[in-house]
């Protein structure tokens, strides 16, 4: 039996649409290694869910973002994270929140969130913020000085930063488009990995003297 061309075209169109809409689920942690023996499985992409009938208000609640975090550290800032580990009800909802406190001239150093776009609103102080686009976009730097009430967006995966350029403390809140956005602080990751990256590799990559690299690795050693 000859199949009508119109039916063939409809079938192909349906398959194209189906393939176009299909994709792997976004990862909710750094990695999830596949195993063949289910008895050794200890984790899933995200968190296991409780019976919805057993959910309670506390599963969707967190208290404490009114309290400033300590900024007595080398970068003079503190990030208080509220994600699925603090609010179990965030599981599968694709959203989380942070409070960021900055001492005068403190910074949230260059970092990236591998699983989330960030939208930040400044509540107190003055911040200089920015992000750098990808190699394909010629690593363009996008910056802005924020005052209270201003909002800035850091696209997913882009290296970004915030610096308090004022003489008084600053406070910001940010929403992230993942229940577990993850954070990779560039300096800590490159110079403080475990085990350390070979100094010769970093010396060539950053065009530095190898002794400078060794000194940096000593400073950032975990």
Ligand-binding site membership of 113 (annotated): yes
> 3-state class of 124 per DSSP?
strand
How many angstroms separate the CA atoms of 92 and 151, rounded?
A: 26
Ligand-binding site membership of 58 (annotated): no
Ligand-binding site membership of 108 (annotated): yes
* Residues near 23 by beta carbon (within 8 Å), at least 6 away in sequence: none
Give the H/E segment covering residue 102: strand 96-102
Using CA atoms, how far residue 72 sits from 75, 77, 216, in Å, is: 8, 7, 21
Give me the half-sphere count of Cα atoms (radius 13 Å) on the Cβ side of residue 216.
Answer: 22
Residue in this structure with the two tokens 């189906």, named with its chain if needed: 18
How many angstroms separate the CA atoms of 71 and 63, rounded?
A: 20
Return binding residues for Mn(2+).
Answer: 111, 113, 118, 160
Return binding residues.
Answer: 108, 111, 113, 118, 160
Return binding residues for oxalate.
Answer: 108, 113, 118
């Amino acid at each position: 039996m000859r199949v009508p061309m119109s039916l063939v075209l409809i079938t192909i169109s349906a398959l194209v649409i189906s393939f176009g809409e299909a994709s792997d689920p976004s990862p909710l942690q750094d990695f999830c290694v596949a195993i063949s023996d289910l008895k050794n499985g200890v984790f899933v992409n995200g968190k296991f869910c409780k019976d919805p009938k057993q959910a309670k208000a506390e599963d969707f609640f967190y208290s404490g973002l009114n309290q400033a975090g300590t900024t007595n550290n080398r970068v003079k800032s503190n990030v208080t994270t509220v994600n699925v580990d603090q609010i179990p009800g965030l599981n599968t909802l694709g959203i989380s929140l942070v409070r960021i406190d900055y001492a005068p001239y403190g910074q949230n150093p260059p970092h990236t969130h591998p699983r989330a776009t960030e939208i930040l609103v400044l509540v107190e102080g003055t911040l200089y913020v920015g992000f750098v686009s990808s190699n394909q976009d010629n690593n363009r730097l996008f910056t802005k000085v924020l005052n209270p009430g201003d909002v800035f967006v850091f696209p997913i995966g882009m290296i970004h930063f915030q610096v308090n350029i004022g003489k008084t403390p600053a406070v910001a809140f940010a929403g992230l488009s993942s229940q577990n956005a993850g954070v990779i602080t560039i300096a800590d990751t490159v110079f403080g990995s475990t085990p350390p990256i070979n100094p010769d590799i970093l010396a060539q990559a950053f065009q530095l003297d190898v002794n400078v690299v060794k000194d940096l690795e000593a400073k950032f050693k975990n």
